[in-house]
Chain A
Amino acid sequence: MVYPEECDIIFRVKGVVEFSCQLENPNSPQSQSIISKSFQLLQWKLSSKNVVFSICKSPVILWPNVSFQSSMESLTGASACGDVLQYIESDDCGGRKSSKKKDKKRSEPTVVNIKLLFEVTNPTGTEAPSLIQVGTQQHSVKMPMPLDCIVSVTADVSLLTVCTKLVEALGKQLSDMEEVVLQYRKGSSFLVPQPFHFLLPEPAGLSTVVYPAGVPDSQLQALREALHKKFKLLTDRPYLRRANAFHFPDEVNKDGYLRNPHMYLNPPNIENAKLYQVHGVYSYHHYMQDRVDDDGWGCAYRSLQTICSWFQQQGYVDTAVPSHTQIQQALVDVGDKEPRFVGSRQWIGSIEVQAVLNQMLGVTSKIMFVSQGSDLATKGRELANHFLTEGTPIMIGGGVLAHTILGVMWSENTGHIRYLILDPHYTGGEDLQTIIDKGWCGWKGPEFWDQNAYYNLCLPQRPKTI
């Protein structure tokens, strides 16, 4: 994951404003202007003096629209925004990654979460409450606008600038939301607009897109094509599917699997060699996970699961990572195995992996055959090319073992090669430290392979879609 250049802190403000309007006739042409007027009221609300930013896990409260008011005397508009960090309570649990990170070269920016609040105790008038009653029949429409805006800055930028940018971002997002609401409205049926953040290649960087809730990615193709053009993105791989959404450093993975453990390794120092590795995000699947005791027979299944997780997280498919049983059933369905295969502890190989990827995910794969393990040292060019163009994890089976190859370090001149291996034979818990220290995810040399056994490699091909 490459972060935007020069970004120390990501300020993220989240909150809800309730959209509400009354339509007498949702199908009349006047409805649109009534809806727009209601959004106009919300825009006003976002720029009012009652907007409050409350920095999560800290006593710091800011009023960005009142020539900068803050609850802490020491923090003024001119203060560097990095000063805010000292007031934030650090997270003790869940900080595993940050405290034990071995890779010191890639420093992650700090995320400062802010809650959007509204003050109710600063009234504009002094009028006593009055009740206004409207007697016409109408459709009342209510929905939350789930605002979520980010601003990436260096720590020396002033707080005033950051707040101004955040307020601007909120206003812009609200108007993006208005567009989406109007575009996808059918009569009195309204879809909630939802923001997603994507880390795009420069110059776009961390960008936000609003999608209508409930409309699947498959139906948003045209929208994505327009956005790819706008952000100058290649059109052969997805960047803007919901699954591609940026995973913030402080967000915990809900499913409990480790993501990209290879990121915590230092590549070996080989003269003239270049690094070719998997693109994007995958989850580490290995023995004993999901309460399935597959110790001794499930290694290829786990490698396949890792590959499936890659396709899911890059947004190519919606389907969840399949279980052993589901994998076996798929093979029965294509006629590759007898029905009694399901529930057995039989091994599978690269051919089966290729078949399942095709059957369940619609993904095609190339098979590479190597007659003896020692020949793998000569496959540097093919492997490098694979990682360059496809960037998918490779499943390799041979001897009695299956592994996943995540990358190679290869020198075109000398032919020296190292393999980045993810080992599915690990039986422990999701302990990153152990996995790295003991080499369950690690760089191996050509001697790693059984020099006399033959190997089959399954190289999944990336669908060229967005």
Chain B
Amino acid sequence: MGRSYFVEEAVEKYLSGLQAAPGSCLTGLLAGQSSPQKDFVVLAVQTPQRESEVQPESSRGGSALDGIDVAWLTEHAKQVSRMLPGGLCILGMFLVTAPELSKDANNTLKRLIFAMEKYVTKGRLWDPSEEDVTDRAALHICSKTKKAVCKTFDVKDPKSSAKPADWKYQTGVSSSWPMLICSVELDLQIFLKGSDSTDKCMKDALSRWAKQIEAGVCLIGGRQVLDEAELVLSQKKNSKTSPRQTLPVRILISEEMSEVDERSTAQVQVCSGSMTIRGVVHCRAYVHNNKPKAKHAAKAIKRDIINTVSSRVEMFLEDLLISDGSLKVNFSSLFLCDYMFPDESSADVAERLKEMLDWETPEEDIDISLEVFPSGSEKTDSISDEVMTSIISENHEVKKTSKYYADTQVVERCALSVCLHVRTHFTWNFTDAIQLFGSSWRQ
């Protein structure tokens, strides 16, 4: 018995609109949510063309399939998966080829899917659980007949063979999926040991924090997530027209770390410096509404929290690398140019969305909200040799004061994310806020 994929109608429209140039092929990603019984596909995105790329042609002495740039494809997959809200992930790939290449399609898809899975999951901070579905969809579309055939491969088993799967189009697959939201306060301290790289120190600190989140108590809509209970949703009278339910999530963590608690002395390390990451991230996850378990929902939102913070930290690291340890922080650095500047317009954002996600978005649908620039931003575009210390006042507000301190170099880097409400009324039924994280992968 193979898997069943329930696919948004809008995806069908998108896929049928794809044109592969003669002799070439198109690749792309399928995104959605898996549950033990069914899978739901809500998004398809073709791999964007490289600007300087020459279309792989069979006349170059190999088949078009051999010419697929796997590195480019997997990088795109990683960027897109970062942009997906919690609960959604890349659950397969599609390949559009000319009829004569159809027989090799499955092997190619298998190769690409395994490569993508490996790349996208590298450095992931949460461990996959037993209940995670490891089958990935391999969709082959013939460019002439437009016929789509779906098979699955199990990414846990490198020797797996293609298994048959159902591919069914439906309307409103995700229109009434409940949305879980929360805002997470972050206060992460990272100590830099001389022997370890900055990267490793940050990853270690993040990894410890991620474990706390994973082990944390989760409250959805005020109820604690325990055992095998189903997620409690309000009654839906008409699933097509009722608004999407929003469920607030609360996460409670314990600071207990079992291996540390056995010690009788403090852990003391000599560090060459330290870094603190402070601020608030907004997280979102969607859950299918086919009798979802509360545990599944909790997992989705926790993973989104961890992914969100992990992506931010990765960007900080990239920025540090680029700026080569120098202290100049500049809002116009490469790192930040994908973010919304005060002087940017919705048009710029729309352009980026089209490029990365192949979406047409009317400008009036782009609505910027939720996050603000940190208040200290105006101080940071010069080399500073001041120490910024935070003191917690009696009213529990974080205040910043500065005082002079020779030989200390402090840098504040700000990473702002733009939270967009994208209501693309003609292509998707899926109403959402998507967070843009990835740094530019333009060349």
CA distance in complex: A121, B216 (Å): 11
List CB contacts (< 8 Å) of B250-291 with chain A: 250-257, 260-261, 263-281
> In the assembly, what is the distance between CA of A116 and CA of B256, in Å?
10
A123→B183 contact, CB < 8 A: yes
Q: Please give, as numbers and ranges, the residues of chain B lying within 8 Å of A93 by CB-CB distance.
A: none
- Give chain B residues whose Cβ lies under 8 Å from the Cβ of A218: none
From A117, A128, A132, A141, B371 is in contact (CB under 8 Å) with A128
Q: Judging by beta carbons under 8 Å apart, are A128 and B372 in contact?
A: yes
Is A115's beta carbon under 8 Å from chain B? yes
Q: Assess whether A133 is interfacial by the CB under 8 Å rule.
A: yes
Residues of A within 8 A of B256 (CB): 15-16, 144
Alpha-carbon separation in the docked complex, A121 to B180 (Å): 12
**CB-contact partner of A214 in B251, B264, B373, B376, under 8 A:** B264
Q: CB-CB < 8 A to B252: which residues of A?
A: 52, 54, 61, 117-120
Residue of chain B at shortest CB distance from A124: B396
Instruction: Decide if A124 touches B408 in the complex (CB within 8 Å).
Output: no
Whether the Cβ atoms of A190 and B374 lie closer than 8 Å is: no
Taking CB atoms, residues of chain A closer than 8 Å to B309 are 129
**B257, A144: Cβ atoms closer than 8 Å:** yes
**Among candidates B184, B191, B222, B414, residue contacting A128 with C-beta atoms closer than 8 Å:** B414
- Which residues between 289 and 314 of chain A lie within 8 Å of chain B, taking CB atoms? none
Chain B residues contacting A17 (CB-CB under 8 Å) are: 255
Q: B-facing mask of A206-227, CB < 8 A → 1, else 0?
A: 0000000110000000000000
Q: Min CB distance, B343 to chain A, in Å?
A: 18
- Report the nearest A residue to B226, measured CB to CB: A59
On whether the beta carbons of A140 and B249 are closer than 8 Å, the reply is: no
Which one of A128, A136, A138 contacts B279 once the chains associate, using CB atoms below 8 Å?
A: A128
Q: A131–B100 Cα gap in the complex (Å)?
A: 54
User: Does chain B have a CB within 8 A of A2?
Assistant: no
Are B261 and A213 neighbours in the complex by a CB distance under 8 Å?
no
The CA-CA distance from A115 to B254 in the complex, in Å, is 8
- The size of the chain A interface, using a CB distance under 8 A, is 53
Contact A135 B408 (CB under 8 A): yes
Answer yes or no: A161 CB below 8 A from chain B CBs. Answer: no
B412 at interface, CB cutoff 8 A: yes
Q: Which of B252, B268, B280, B373 has its CB near the most chain A CB atoms (within 10 A)?
A: B252
Q: Is the CB of A142 within 8 A of B224?
A: no
- B217: A residues at CB distance < 8 A: 54, 61, 117
> Which residues on the B side are within 8 Å of A122 (C-beta)?
185, 250
- Whether A128 and B416, one on each chain, are in contact in the complex, defined by CB atoms closer than 8 angstroms, is yes
Give A141 to B260 CA distance when docked, in angstroms.
13
- Whether B251 contacts A119 by the Cβ 8 Å rule is yes
Please, which residues of chain A bring their CB within 8 A of the CB of B322?
none
Q: Binding site of A, secondary structure by majority: helix, strand, loop or mixed?
A: strand
Residue in A closest to B198 when the chains form the complex, CB atoms = A133
- Nearest CB of chain A from residue B401's CB, rounded to whole Å: 13
Q: Are A190 and B268 in contact (CB under 8 A)?
A: yes
- Report chain B residues within 8 Å CB of A119: 250-252
Shortest Cβ distance from B409 into A: residue = A135
Number of B interface residues in the complex (CB < 8 A): 72
Closest to A214 in B: B264
**Is A129 in contact with B280, judged by CB distance below 8 angstroms?**
yes
**Which one, B255, B268, B274, contacts A118 given CB within 8 A?**
B255
Contact of B267 with A141 in the complex, beta carbons under 8 Å: yes
User: Which residues of A1-31 have CB atoms within 8 Å of chain B's CB atoms?
Assistant: 15-20, 22
> What is the CA–CA distance of A189 and B268 in the complex, to the nearest angstrom?
8
A94 at the interface (CB under 8 A from B): no
Which residues of B are found within 8 Å of A52, using beta-carbon distances? 252
Tell me if A121 and B184 are in contact (CB < 8 A).
yes
A214 to B262, CA, bound (A): 11
CB contact between A192 and one of B266, B277, B413 (< 8 Å): that residue = B266
Instruction: Tell me, rounded to whole Å, the shortest Cβ–Cβ distance linking A55 to chain B.
Output: 11
Q: What B residues does A144 contact at CB under 8 A?
A: 255-257, 260-261
Within 8 A of A (CB), among B363-399: 370-376, 387-388, 392, 396-398
In chain A, what residue has the closest Cβ to B252? A117
CB within 8 Å of B: which A78-126 residues: 115-126
Residues A148-193 near B (CB distance < 8 A)? 188-192
* Cα–Cα, bound, A135→B194 (Å): 12
Determine the chain B residues whose CB is within 8 A of the CB of A71 once the complex forms: 219, 222-224
Q: With a CB–CB cut-off of 8 A, which chain A residues contact B185?
A: 120-124
Q: Is the CB of A133 within 8 A of B224?
A: no
Residue pair A140, B277 in contact (C-beta under 8 Å): no
Please indicate the chain A residues that have their CB under 8 angstroms from the CB of B186 in the complex.
129
- A139 and B269 contacting across the interface, CB-CB below 8 Å: yes
| Most chain B CB neighbours (cut-off 10 Å) among A54, A119, A121, A191 | A121
Give the residues in chain B near A205, CB-CB below 8 Å.
none
Chain A residues with Cβ below 8 Å from B255 are: 15-18, 118, 144
Task: Determine if B169 is an interface residue (Cβ-Cβ < 8 Å).
Answer: no
**Is there an interface contact between B278 and A129, defined as CB atoms closer than 8 Å?**
yes
Of the candidates B261, B265, B280, B407, the one whose C-beta lies within 8 Å of that of A125 is B280
The residue from B274, B312, B371 contacting A22, defined by CB atoms under 8 A apart: B274
The CA-CA distance from A271 to B270 in the complex, in Å, is: 73
Given A143-B265, A143-B267: A130 in contact with B279 (beta carbons within 8 A):
yes
What are 19 A-to-B residue pairs whose CB atoms are below 8 Å? Answer: A16-B256, A19-B266, A20-B189, A59-B223, A59-B226, A117-B253, A118-B253, A118-B255, A120-B184, A121-B251, A124-B185, A126-B371, A127-B279, A137-B270, A142-B266, A142-B267, A190-B266, A191-B266, A214-B264
